[in-house]
Chains A and B, each alone.
Chain A
Amino acid sequence: MKKILSILFALAVSCCLFTACNLDIAPADSLTGEQMTESPSGLEDILNGCYATMKDDTDESNYWWGRQYYQLADFASDDVVYGHETSDDLNMIFRYDERSPVLGNFRSFWALNYKLIYSCNVALATIAQKEELTEQDIYLRGEAEFFKAFCMHALLKNYAKQYDPATASSDLGIILRENSSDSELKDRASVADSYNAIVELLLQAEQDFSAGSFPDRESNKGFASLGAAQAMLSRVYIFMQDWNKAAEYATKVINSGKYDLESAQKFPSYFTETYNRDETIWCMRMIPTDDQGSAAVASMIYNGASGCWGEEGYSKPLLDDMNFEKDQYIGVDCRFSFVCGAYLKNGLILYPCSKHTWQDGIATLCSHPLLRLAEVYLNRAEAYAHLGNDAGALADLNEIIDHRMDYGVAASKGFSPSDYHLTTADVKTNMVDLVLTQKRVELAFEGFRIYDLLRNKKDVIRNYWGFHTNYVNGQSTGLVPGLNAPGVVTPYNYGRLICPIPQQEILNNPACTQNEAYK
């Protein structure tokens, strides 16, 4: 009997052990959209997630957002030497002819920006559901609007023709996503409509940043702010060739008193702590654990430190525009400190770039400045130049020069500040070109050059040796390549200077039109 009882007990235990199976199991490290709405910090967390997405690894680590943001702008331009042929997709940024819709870097940048736009839309929807908005909510709405606009512009400047007032209403821009439930299959809006949507968002952001308040975030340059929205407006109006508005918004930022240009003494160390510096309006804040190592922005363009390939460098025309070899500027122009020592790679003399390096003692770490005051001055200078206000343009350019030249060293060489100031005598072609040259010098490797050329209808002339041409290791580099050599002159309207719409979009969204050169 005892035995039987014990057996029955064993049976009962083994039956009951697993009988009440609860199969509703929630993941331990994520929440659903509904739960995000309920969470008191959900809105903030979604926005922080947007910033994080810009700096984080993707499944394919080379394709993270920041790397593409800079490479698409700089490697396509006449600023950079392509010093080692690679099977990395960056090859196709240099070699326009080989671009195609299946490439991972074009796909990834497109997808990441739309993911960010979706997240911003979720944040906006969360706010819209609230019955009563706090000042914090309004401020956060400003961030979401700004962020969405920023990503839309990142897409627009790469995947569409640059804004041309004559054709903007018929040229294809980007697919607009109105809200988080808008995922319908549709075509791209016109360039004009795309820009209008961006401006509308930025203007709302400007309002919300003014009306709302969130002191913890306002004091952190890692987050967007009123200044960021206004600086972004000045940038977007430049692209739209609305010179008056561009100047107006640049002035708002400059006169806000919140930002200052770094001095020539401090600027060389600027990139090691952008988040603490007065010149920064908004930076992509990275901390040591965010280090991208050999996939970092610096890795391809900086050498001599672990994690750095150092396969790309300053081009000869850029160095010439910097007066790199003129004694008057050596030791005076603090921007020379970013030009690293020349070294030979595949028979090419490379000058790597040390912007984007050495934050927290890590070679490949940097909190990349996405908006800084020097750009705003240059935006205003370009606007003034187009408006015929040469004196205003020169004043802004000289403001930058005053902060980049070490006049103490200059004095020891026998030069005075006026020897460095630009005047109408420095205008070789027109004032706009002078501004663009100064912008190229100031913002080299910071994600501007190709757009500055294309929106001003300037051909891309890469008359220096590198693997963008038919260069062969061992070939003489004494002469510059002829203008008719492959890859040297590319007309501004060459179709493959525009990135292809990724194949994944075309295949799964039949309504979407591919750019002409990839059809």
Chain B
Amino acid sequence: MKRLILLFALLLTAMQLNAQIAVKGTVTASDTGEPMIGASVMEKGTMNGTVTGADGSYALTVTDGNAVLVFTTIGFKTVEIAVANRALIDVALDVDQQLLDEIVVVGYSSKTRAEITSAVAVVNADKLNDVVTSDITHMLQGKVAGVSVINSSGLPGSSASIRIRGTSSLNAPQEPLYVVDGIIGGSYDPNDVESVTVLKDAGSTGMYGAQANGGVIVVTTKKAKGDQLQFNFKSTVGMAQADFSRQRLMNSRQLYQYYREYYRDPETGLVDDVAMQSVAPKSVMDTDTDWRGLVYRNALLHSHHLSVAGRTAKNSFYNSVSYYDEQGTLRYTGYKKINVRSNNTMYLTKWLTITNNVNVWADKQDQPDDLLVYYVLQGVVWDSPYDSEGNLVPFTGRSDLFSRYDKNPMIGYSDRNKDSRTSKSFGVDYDFVLTAQITPWLSFVSQTRASASAATFDYHRTADVEYMQPGDQVEGEQSLDYGGISTNMFKVQKDWGKHSFDALVGYEAQRSWWQNVYGEGKGLPYGLYVLSVASDSKDVAGTNSVTGMQSFISQAAYNYASKYFINASFRIDQSSTFNKQNRTAMFPSVSAAWVLSNEDFFNSSAITNLKLKASWGKTGMKDIGASKYLEAFSYSTQYDNHSAATATQMANANLKWEQTTQFNIGAEIGIRDWLSLDLNWYRNKTNDLLVYRDLPPSGGFSQQWQNLGSVINTGFEAAVNVTPVKTRDWRWDVDFEIAYNKNWLTGFGEGVTVTKSNYSGVSQVYHDGGQLATWYLREYAGVDPQTGRNLYIDANGNKTTDYASARYIEAGSPIIPWQGGLSTALSWKNFKLSATSNFVWGNQLYGRSRASDLAIWVSNSLLPSNEDKIWRRPGDIATIGSPAYAPATLYHTGYLVPGNYFKIRNITLSYSLPKSVMKDKGLTFSLSCDNAATFTTVWGGDPEVDMTGSGLIGTIQGIDDRYPNKRQYIFQVNFTF
């Protein structure tokens, strides 16, 4: 090998000795004939190049008469012309109708749009950056067909969860794999992102093998675009409000009215107002505390981003710094982040390129104390946290309150230091990429990333904060994460005649280490909040873990005359997650495409692109945490300060990868420059599902990790981009995505049902023929109009009032079948109005949010929906029964609601100063509103609910256990110079 490199290196050096020649010419646009300013002219395979001047002219000295010139500029087709010893070369560039030559980064390699043979979607920076957020996941909402983005928390700094092509697992995580600048993992600031590529089928994700069951999201950061030094400054200021969707709380008067129902005799229909007023005299209505209003606020958001990029013959760089500062809509919460990136590429010699990218970030998140928030939101409107002078008063020991809890949680909000929960982290990613062009057709690429991050978490609560935790408390945790990944590959690229071939083969290894220490204590002196000062109940913990993986990767692609494309990949992974005999798995894939529009027989002036594609391949999922196959006696506790080991995990030596076999067929259709359509149909079968399966507890263990059964996901996706109007002053674009997904389970075995329940016995079941996460609940049959009692269906199919004898039935699933997005942009001269929205349709959510909670209603003052009616007297057709009969805890099908919604994610109006004023500079102002409106069938909660986690999914959180989403109003200035 060494000799080979030497040989080629010498050959390359020798080539430099050939005679150089000078070339000049003019570049024009073929449609208008006007000169092209700023077009790039490069000598192919080198960094030798220039740009055209104001008259479209250029001059360049090339290595020899055999050189090839590459002419590129944005919006036009790239042209390559052999110099062939000429001194004058004039070129007319054609407008690029379909941007077919757009480079799509698909991970280990890049391809042009035309070369893509699998289901891949690209979202560029201009489409990403409409929503203002610190996390890119939020930006993908409604923009890629078949990708569902669930934003279940409005906590600043939180991520949305992403599911690509449905749900395919019971217990293994399914977040997609992130690949930043070609290397797995990594960090980045949304402002530095050039494009995001979503790899949806095995034709492209197969290359990522055991990490790719959730799909792959490839993030590419910015690089210098032209030779000119370019600065960009972007500044954003905004205001955010909590968005509670259709969740309304009762005011004092409404609560009084509902309270009276408790005193209604269901037989006579009369209310015992004497009893009622002995508990709640009418004077209670004098107090009307909006507890929620006390802790939510209009929050400020601002962020700033400065970048500078440029390029010289030997060097290309992009440097940026971003600052992001968002207050939470909940008091005392917020998020701050600073990010610095430096991307540098050095063209050391004609055949050797080295890239050094560094990303450094630090952030701070002030989190809510969920328990404290719970107590605030459990407050009753008739109670006031203040005395008549407006001072906070302790509730402890008072009997004149209506709240279940004799606690005044607002004391925790009287001072920033009463109850504080903060996490901070700091991280560095360093990428080193070396590309050696050994021969014109063979190159060696070595890419390595070293990552380290440290995080701290601090919590304290002072003794006078009132809630159901004894006394004061301080907690601190520090953790350190570090590791690396290195990929070393040989790449081959060879064209001959109409044949084009490229391939790669390589080895990848990754390893990561994690360790933490944790301490807690009580007994804080006044005004001090660190671990050292705690005088009581000090406790410590700390552990570490290591994970590792090594892989063989390979890929080959061939195409003939840009008509027939075939692509194959093969990967072998070995992971420390599994036992020796199950450690290795193989992931093949193959995909092909046929571009009909390039065939000679295809002759249509309307259809400019027609491509059929198909792919098949395998991916896997290993990420269930280390050592799940081992028997474990865990040393995480003590008894009277003696060491103690508890049996925490049952061995399963046979535990292995969850593997998905994917099949995709698709078509791309382009009609001139006004419509493009991408259609895909897929069928994915995930085998050996990793299930944390229930066992009979009498055997000593309640659960065990097992491989059990399969799930089949099938569906189709359609993405349409239309530009119905395109004139000199007007342009209107519409992007529409829609996806349908359906799943069913198989291979569990006859009579085998996996059940997941929450603490209250609400269950979801998994069995052959059923859908994932099918609700399994007692069957509800409405309110008996005669008695006001809830009715259920018993085992014999008869109506009964006995909740305990109600039968269980299967009743739909929260998994989303239909979803999509609609974006549109209308521009007139320098004004642009755009909007993004997304929708979900056809799933079933569970939420005890219909105010049927009258039995424990005092602490749950959700206003019933407009459609709800409370039973008052015999004959009433009602949705809410008489509370006189309601047990405290009811869980039944009556609480299921369709989870349909349509959300307008963003509306933006922007104005760019005209070119005549700005010359080569750019200045844009924009006004926008994020999360502008929600239309939904769900009452009493946000329909965008958590679909992750290994427990139940799809339950609508109540008023107290979720951080609400936010609506924000933003003003932005973007200045380029």
Known: A18-B486, A21-B550, A33-B631. A507 touches B436 (CB 8 A): no
B548 touches A509 (CB 8 A): no
Residues of the B chain whose Cβ atoms lie less than 8 Å from the Cβ of A412: none
Residues of the A chain whose Cβ atoms lie less than 8 Å from the Cβ of B630: 26-27, 30, 32
Interface segment, one of B35-43, B538-546, B560-568: B538-546
**Residue B977, interface by CB 8 Å:** no
A288–B534 Cα gap in the complex (Å)? 13
A490–B507 Cα gap in the complex (Å)? 72
A11 interface neighbour in B444, B466, B644, Cβ under 8 Å: B444
Residues of the A chain whose Cβ atoms lie less than 8 Å from the Cβ of B702: 111, 115, 504
Give the residues from 23 to 41 in chain A that come closer than 8 angstroms, CB to CB, to chain B: 23-36, 41
**Residue A481, interface by CB 8 Å:** no
A288 touches B574 (CB 8 A): no
Residues of the A chain whose Cβ atoms lie less than 8 Å from the Cβ of B404: 84
A36 touches B696 (CB 8 A): no
A105–B718 Cα gap in the complex (Å)? 48
**Residue A440, interface by CB 8 Å:** no
A21 touches B509 (CB 8 A): yes
B759 touches A104 (CB 8 A): yes
Interface segment, one of A2-10, A241-249, A426-434, A457-465: A2-10
Closest B residue, CB atoms, query A60: B759
B643 interface neighbour in A22, A48, A183, Cβ under 8 Å: A48
Residues of the B chain whose Cβ atoms lie less than 8 Å from the Cβ of A180: 700
Give the residues from 471 to 503 in chain A that come closer than 8 angstroms, CB to CB, to chain B: 472-476, 502-503
Closest A residue, CB atoms, query B405: A309
Residues of the B chain whose Cβ atoms lie less than 8 Å from the Cβ of A255: none
A114 interface neighbour in B627, B645, B697, Cβ under 8 Å: B697
B701 touches A52 (CB 8 A): no
B539 touches A30 (CB 8 A): no
A103–B891 Cα gap in the complex (Å)? 11
Total count of chain A residues near the partner, CB < 8 A: 109
A32 touches B761 (CB 8 A): no
A29 interface neighbour in B539, B634, B757, Cβ under 8 Å: B634
Residues of the A chain whose Cβ atoms lie less than 8 Å from the Cβ of B697: 107, 110-111, 114-115, 502, 504-505
A253–B448 Cα gap in the complex (Å)? 71
B635 touches A45 (CB 8 A): yes
- Smallest distance from the beta carbon of A40 to chain B beta carbons, Å? 12
- Smallest distance from the beta carbon of B171 to chain A beta carbons, Å? 14
A84–B583 Cα gap in the complex (Å)? 54
Closest A residue, CB atoms, query B488: A15
Closest A residue, CB atoms, query B466: A306
Residue-wise, chain A 102-127 has the 8 Å CB interface mask toward B (1 for contact) of 11100100110011011101100000
Interface segment, one of A87-95, A196-204, A387-395: A87-95
Known: A4-B6, A27-B626, A177-B698. A48 touches B645 (CB 8 A): yes
Known: A25-B576, A48-B643. A291 touches B537 (CB 8 A): yes
B633 interface neighbour in A24, A46, A99, A183, Cβ under 8 Å: A46
B700 touches A474 (CB 8 A): no
Residue-wise, chain B 686-713 has the 8 Å CB interface mask toward A (1 for contact) of 0000000011111111100000000000
A118 touches B699 (CB 8 A): yes
Closest B residue, CB atoms, query A496: B804
**Residue A314, interface by CB 8 Å:** no
Known: A23-B583, A115-B647, A291-B537. A31 touches B627 (CB 8 A): no
Residues of the A chain whose Cβ atoms lie less than 8 Å from the Cβ of B792: none
Closest B residue, CB atoms, query A91: B888
Residues of the B chain whose Cβ atoms lie less than 8 Å from the Cβ of A104: 759-761
Known: A48-B639, A288-B536. A475 touches B275 (CB 8 A): yes
B470 touches A305 (CB 8 A): yes
Residues of the B chain whose Cβ atoms lie less than 8 Å from the Cβ of A512: 696, 698
Residue-wise, chain B 879-892 has the 8 Å CB interface mask toward A (1 for contact) of 00000100111000
- Smallest distance from the beta carbon of A147 to chain B beta carbons, Å? 12
Give the residues from 326 to 350 in chain A that come closer than 8 angstroms, CB to CB, to chain B: 343-345, 347
**Residue A153, interface by CB 8 Å:** no
**Residue B581, interface by CB 8 Å:** no
Known: A30-B633, A114-B699. A294 touches B468 (CB 8 A): yes
Residues of the B chain whose Cβ atoms lie less than 8 Å from the Cβ of A14: 432, 434, 446, 448, 486, 488
Residue-wise, chain A 288-300 has the 8 Å CB interface mask toward B (1 for contact) of 1101011000000
Best-buried of B276, B485, B630 by chain A (most CB within 10 Å)? B630
Residues of the B chain whose Cβ atoms lie less than 8 Å from the Cβ of A17: 448, 484, 486, 509
B701 touches A118 (CB 8 A): yes
Residues of the A chain whose Cβ atoms lie less than 8 Å from the Cβ of B856: 85-87
Residues of the A chain whose Cβ atoms lie less than 8 Å from the Cβ of B396: 304
Residue-wise, chain B 606-650 has the 8 Å CB interface mask toward A (1 for contact) of 000000000000000000001100111111111111111111110
**Residue A42, interface by CB 8 Å:** yes
A30 interface neighbour in B352, B632, B694, Cβ under 8 Å: B632
**Residue A307, interface by CB 8 Å:** yes
**Residue B924, interface by CB 8 Å:** no
Best-buried of B263, B436, B580, B699 by chain A (most CB within 10 Å)? B699
B640 interface neighbour in A287, A362, A474, A508, Cβ under 8 Å: A287
Residues of the B chain whose Cβ atoms lie less than 8 Å from the Cβ of A222: 639-640
- Smallest distance from the beta carbon of A105 to chain B beta carbons, Å? 9
> Can you list 7 A-B pairs, Cβ within 8 angstroms, ordered by A?
A15-B446, A32-B631, A49-B645, A52-B639, A85-B888, A87-B889, A95-B887
Chain B interface (Cβ within 8 Å of chain A)?
A: 2, 5-6, 9, 262-263, 275-276, 278-280, 348-349, 352, 396-397, 399, 404, 432, 434, 436, 444, 446, 448, 463, 466, 468-471, 484-486, 488, 507, 509-511, 522, 536-539, 543-550, 574-576, 580, 583, 626-627, 630-649, 651, 694-702, 753, 755, 757, 759-761, 763, 802-804, 855-856, 884, 887-889
